[in-house]
Structure 1
Amino acid sequence: MSKPTVDGPGQAKLQALASAASLAQTVHGHVEKYAIAIRTTQPTTAYGQMIKRAATPLIGLLRSQFQLLADITTDLILVATRGGSGDQARLRALRERVGQLKSGIELAITSTTQKHAVRDDHAKLPSSDASGE
Protein backbone atom coordinates (compact mmCIF):
# COMPACT_ATOMS: atom_id res chain seq x y z
CA MET A 1 0.00 0.00 0.00
CA SER A 2 1.39 3.39 -0.98
CA LYS A 3 1.76 6.34 1.32
CA PRO A 4 -1.17 8.75 1.25
CA THR A 5 -0.49 11.95 -0.62
CA VAL A 6 -0.87 15.18 1.30
CA ASP A 7 -1.75 18.66 0.03
CA GLY A 8 0.62 21.65 0.26
CA PRO A 9 -0.35 22.95 3.72
CA GLY A 10 -0.23 19.40 5.04
CA GLN A 11 3.27 18.94 3.67
CA ALA A 12 4.40 22.15 5.37
CA LYS A 13 2.93 20.97 8.67
CA LEU A 14 4.50 17.53 8.32
CA GLN A 15 7.88 19.10 7.58
CA ALA A 16 7.59 21.25 10.72
CA LEU A 17 6.59 18.18 12.74
CA ALA A 18 9.55 16.20 11.39
CA SER A 19 11.89 18.99 12.49
CA ALA A 20 10.14 19.09 15.86
CA ALA A 21 10.56 15.33 16.27
CA SER A 22 14.28 15.68 15.63
CA LEU A 23 14.60 18.51 18.16
CA ALA A 24 12.52 16.56 20.69
CA GLN A 25 14.92 13.64 20.31
CA THR A 26 17.81 16.00 21.06
CA VAL A 27 16.03 17.25 24.18
CA HIS A 28 15.40 13.64 25.20
CA GLY A 29 19.11 12.94 24.86
CA HIS A 30 19.96 15.86 27.14
CA VAL A 31 17.43 14.66 29.72
CA GLU A 32 18.96 11.19 29.71
CA LYS A 33 22.47 12.67 30.06
CA TYR A 34 21.09 14.54 33.07
CA ALA A 35 19.85 11.22 34.46
CA ILE A 36 23.28 9.66 34.03
CA ALA A 37 24.89 12.63 35.78
CA ILE A 38 22.49 12.22 38.71
CA ARG A 39 23.17 8.49 38.92
CA THR A 40 26.95 8.94 38.87
CA THR A 41 26.80 11.92 41.29
CA GLN A 42 28.37 14.35 38.84
CA PRO A 43 27.57 18.08 38.96
CA THR A 44 24.17 18.73 37.36
CA THR A 45 24.03 22.53 37.32
CA ALA A 46 24.66 22.93 33.58
CA TYR A 47 22.00 20.48 32.42
CA GLY A 48 19.04 22.79 33.00
CA GLN A 49 20.51 25.37 30.64
CA MET A 50 21.44 22.69 28.09
CA ILE A 51 17.85 21.44 28.04
CA LYS A 52 16.54 25.00 27.80
CA ARG A 53 18.80 25.81 24.85
CA ALA A 54 17.81 22.62 23.05
CA ALA A 55 14.06 23.04 23.66
CA THR A 56 13.66 26.77 22.94
CA PRO A 57 13.62 26.41 19.11
CA LEU A 58 10.74 23.95 19.47
CA ILE A 59 8.47 26.68 20.81
CA GLY A 60 8.95 28.90 17.78
CA LEU A 61 8.56 25.96 15.43
CA LEU A 62 5.34 24.70 16.99
CA ARG A 63 3.68 27.93 18.16
CA SER A 64 1.94 28.84 14.89
CA GLN A 65 0.22 25.52 14.13
CA PHE A 66 0.46 23.33 17.24
CA GLN A 67 -0.13 25.53 20.29
CA LEU A 68 -0.63 22.64 22.74
CA LEU A 69 2.73 21.13 21.84
CA ALA A 70 4.37 24.54 22.23
CA ASP A 71 2.80 24.85 25.69
CA ILE A 72 4.15 21.42 26.70
CA THR A 73 7.59 22.54 25.54
CA THR A 74 7.31 25.75 27.57
CA ASP A 75 6.38 23.69 30.62
CA LEU A 76 9.38 21.43 30.00
CA ILE A 77 11.67 24.47 29.98
CA LEU A 78 10.12 25.76 33.20
CA VAL A 79 10.67 22.40 34.89
CA ALA A 80 14.27 22.27 33.66
CA THR A 81 15.21 25.75 34.87
CA ARG A 82 13.32 26.12 38.13
CA GLY A 83 15.20 25.75 41.37
CA GLY A 84 14.41 24.26 44.72
CA SER A 85 13.26 20.75 43.95
CA GLY A 86 15.44 17.68 44.13
CA ASP A 87 17.15 16.24 41.12
CA GLN A 88 15.10 13.04 41.13
CA ALA A 89 11.78 14.90 41.12
CA ARG A 90 12.98 17.22 38.36
CA LEU A 91 14.21 14.27 36.30
CA ARG A 92 10.88 12.48 36.68
CA ALA A 93 8.99 15.60 35.57
CA LEU A 94 11.34 16.16 32.62
CA ARG A 95 10.93 12.58 31.42
CA GLU A 96 7.16 12.95 31.69
CA ARG A 97 7.15 16.18 29.64
CA VAL A 98 9.43 14.69 26.98
CA GLY A 99 7.11 11.69 26.71
CA GLN A 100 4.09 13.97 26.36
CA LEU A 101 5.87 16.01 23.71
CA LYS A 102 7.00 13.02 21.65
CA SER A 103 3.61 11.31 21.77
CA GLY A 104 1.91 14.62 20.92
CA ILE A 105 4.12 15.02 17.88
CA GLU A 106 3.29 11.48 16.75
CA LEU A 107 -0.43 12.17 17.16
CA ALA A 108 -0.10 15.45 15.28
CA ILE A 109 1.65 13.69 12.40
CA THR A 110 -1.14 11.11 12.20
CA SER A 111 -3.95 13.66 12.37
CA THR A 112 -2.26 15.99 9.87
CA THR A 113 -1.85 13.11 7.43
CA GLN A 114 -5.54 12.24 7.78
CA LYS A 115 -6.82 15.83 7.59
CA HIS A 116 -4.76 16.81 4.56
CA ALA A 117 -4.99 13.56 2.57
CA VAL A 118 -5.56 14.02 -1.14
CA ARG A 119 -7.53 11.44 -3.06
CA ASP A 120 -5.46 9.92 -5.83
CA ASP A 121 -7.77 8.56 -8.56
CA HIS A 122 -4.93 7.00 -10.54
CA ALA A 123 -3.94 4.79 -7.62
CA LYS A 124 -7.54 3.58 -7.19
CA LEU A 125 -8.00 2.37 -10.79
CA PRO A 126 -5.48 -0.51 -10.80
CA SER A 127 -6.68 -1.78 -7.43
CA SER A 128 -10.31 -1.96 -8.63
CA ASP A 129 -9.26 -3.73 -11.86
CA ALA A 130 -7.23 -6.26 -9.90
CA SER A 131 -10.20 -7.22 -7.74
CA GLY A 132 -12.14 -8.44 -10.81
CA GLU A 133 -15.17 -6.19 -10.45
Structure 2
Amino acid sequence: MAPLTRPVLRRLHPGGAQVMAEWENLVGPGLAARTTPRALERGTLTIACAGPVAMELTMLAPQVMARINAGLGRVAVTKLRFVQAKTAPPPPVKPPMTPVVLPASLLEKLDGMPEGPLREALAKLAQGVYRKTP
Protein backbone atom coordinates (compact mmCIF):
# COMPACT_ATOMS: atom_id res chain seq x y z
CA MET A 1 0.00 0.00 0.00
CA ALA A 2 2.83 2.42 0.74
CA PRO A 3 3.80 2.94 -2.93
CA LEU A 4 0.19 3.87 -3.72
CA THR A 5 -0.50 6.12 -0.74
CA ARG A 6 2.89 7.83 -0.45
CA PRO A 7 2.36 10.30 -3.36
CA VAL A 8 -1.05 11.36 -2.05
CA LEU A 9 -0.01 11.64 1.58
CA ARG A 10 3.19 13.50 0.64
CA ARG A 11 1.00 16.40 -0.55
CA LEU A 12 -0.81 16.50 2.79
CA HIS A 13 0.45 18.10 5.95
CA PRO A 14 1.70 15.28 8.23
CA GLY A 15 -0.96 16.15 10.78
CA GLY A 16 -3.60 16.12 8.05
CA ALA A 17 -2.58 12.67 6.92
CA GLN A 18 -2.74 11.41 10.48
CA VAL A 19 -6.18 12.97 11.00
CA MET A 20 -7.47 11.33 7.81
CA ALA A 21 -6.06 7.95 8.73
CA GLU A 22 -7.26 7.95 12.34
CA TRP A 23 -10.51 9.94 12.03
CA GLU A 24 -12.78 7.35 13.66
CA ASN A 25 -10.40 6.82 16.57
CA LEU A 26 -10.02 10.57 17.09
CA VAL A 27 -13.68 11.63 17.06
CA GLY A 28 -15.46 8.38 17.83
CA PRO A 29 -17.69 6.19 15.67
CA GLY A 30 -20.79 8.38 16.10
CA LEU A 31 -19.23 11.52 14.63
CA ALA A 32 -17.08 9.61 12.15
CA ALA A 33 -20.20 8.08 10.59
CA ARG A 34 -21.66 11.56 9.94
CA THR A 35 -18.52 13.51 9.03
CA THR A 36 -15.46 13.33 6.79
CA PRO A 37 -12.21 15.26 7.29
CA ARG A 38 -11.19 17.03 4.09
CA ALA A 39 -8.07 19.08 4.86
CA LEU A 40 -5.88 20.43 7.64
CA GLU A 41 -4.19 23.68 6.68
CA ARG A 42 -2.54 26.13 9.08
CA GLY A 43 -4.46 24.78 12.05
CA THR A 44 -7.87 24.83 10.35
CA LEU A 45 -9.51 21.43 9.93
CA THR A 46 -12.11 21.33 7.16
CA ILE A 47 -14.87 18.82 7.85
CA ALA A 48 -17.55 17.75 5.35
CA CYS A 49 -20.96 17.12 6.92
CA ALA A 50 -24.68 17.79 6.56
CA GLY A 51 -26.13 21.09 7.79
CA PRO A 52 -27.61 19.85 11.09
CA VAL A 53 -24.37 18.09 11.98
CA ALA A 54 -22.42 21.30 11.37
CA MET A 55 -24.67 23.09 13.87
CA GLU A 56 -24.04 20.37 16.43
CA LEU A 57 -20.29 20.42 15.82
CA THR A 58 -20.17 24.20 16.12
CA MET A 59 -21.35 23.84 19.70
CA LEU A 60 -19.03 20.91 20.36
CA ALA A 61 -16.01 22.49 18.63
CA PRO A 62 -13.85 22.98 21.76
CA GLN A 63 -14.37 19.36 22.84
CA VAL A 64 -13.84 17.98 19.32
CA MET A 65 -10.62 19.99 18.84
CA ALA A 66 -9.34 18.93 22.28
CA ARG A 67 -10.07 15.29 21.49
CA ILE A 68 -8.32 15.47 18.10
CA ASN A 69 -5.29 17.28 19.53
CA ALA A 70 -5.04 14.82 22.42
CA GLY A 71 -5.18 11.92 19.96
CA LEU A 72 -2.46 13.48 17.82
CA GLY A 73 -0.29 14.29 20.83
CA ARG A 74 0.13 17.94 19.83
CA VAL A 75 -1.94 21.03 19.05
CA ALA A 76 -2.58 20.63 15.33
CA VAL A 77 -6.19 21.87 15.13
CA THR A 78 -7.05 25.37 16.34
CA LYS A 79 -10.17 26.01 14.24
CA LEU A 80 -12.89 23.96 12.58
CA ARG A 81 -14.41 24.80 9.20
CA PHE A 82 -17.48 23.01 7.86
CA VAL A 83 -18.47 22.37 4.26
CA GLN A 84 -21.83 21.06 3.11
CA ALA A 85 -21.72 17.51 1.82
CA LYS A 86 -24.16 14.73 1.24
CA THR A 87 -23.90 12.05 3.84
CA ALA A 88 -24.48 8.38 3.22
CA PRO A 89 -27.76 7.06 4.55
CA PRO A 90 -27.48 4.91 7.64
CA PRO A 91 -27.17 1.19 6.94
CA PRO A 92 -30.48 -0.67 7.03
CA VAL A 93 -31.33 -2.34 10.30
CA LYS A 94 -31.38 -6.10 9.95
CA PRO A 95 -34.43 -7.77 11.46
CA PRO A 96 -33.64 -10.16 14.29
CA MET A 97 -33.29 -13.76 13.18
CA THR A 98 -36.02 -16.12 14.26
CA PRO A 99 -34.77 -18.88 16.56
CA VAL A 100 -34.40 -22.34 15.09
CA VAL A 101 -35.62 -25.45 16.88
CA LEU A 102 -32.51 -27.44 17.74
CA PRO A 103 -32.48 -31.25 17.96
CA ALA A 104 -33.19 -32.64 21.42
CA SER A 105 -29.81 -34.40 21.61
CA LEU A 106 -27.99 -31.12 21.01
CA LEU A 107 -30.11 -29.28 23.57
CA GLU A 108 -29.26 -31.96 26.16
CA LYS A 109 -25.54 -31.49 25.51
CA LEU A 110 -25.85 -27.71 25.79
CA ASP A 111 -27.87 -28.04 29.01
CA GLY A 112 -25.12 -30.24 30.46
CA MET A 113 -22.53 -27.50 29.99
CA PRO A 114 -21.79 -24.92 32.69
CA GLU A 115 -23.22 -21.42 32.19
CA GLY A 116 -20.88 -18.96 30.54
CA PRO A 117 -19.58 -17.49 27.32
CA LEU A 118 -18.54 -20.85 25.84
CA ARG A 119 -22.03 -22.28 26.19
CA GLU A 120 -23.57 -19.11 24.72
CA ALA A 121 -21.15 -19.18 21.77
CA LEU A 122 -21.90 -22.85 21.05
CA ALA A 123 -25.66 -22.24 21.24
CA LYS A 124 -25.31 -19.33 18.80
CA LEU A 125 -23.18 -21.48 16.48
CA ALA A 126 -25.78 -24.26 16.58
CA GLN A 127 -28.50 -21.75 15.65
CA GLY A 128 -26.46 -20.68 12.63
CA VAL A 129 -25.65 -24.23 11.53
CA TYR A 130 -29.22 -25.51 11.79
CA ARG A 131 -30.63 -22.38 10.16
CA LYS A 132 -28.73 -23.18 6.96
CA THR A 133 -29.56 -26.86 6.73
CA PRO A 134 -32.85 -27.99 5.12
Q: What TM-score range do you get, normalising by the shorter chain?
A: under 0.3
TM-score (norm 2): 0.23
TM-score (norm 1): 0.24
Larger Rg: 2
More strand by share: 2
Q: Of the two structures, which has the highest relative contact order with CA contacts closer than 8 Å and spacing of 6 or more?
A: 1
More helix by share: 1
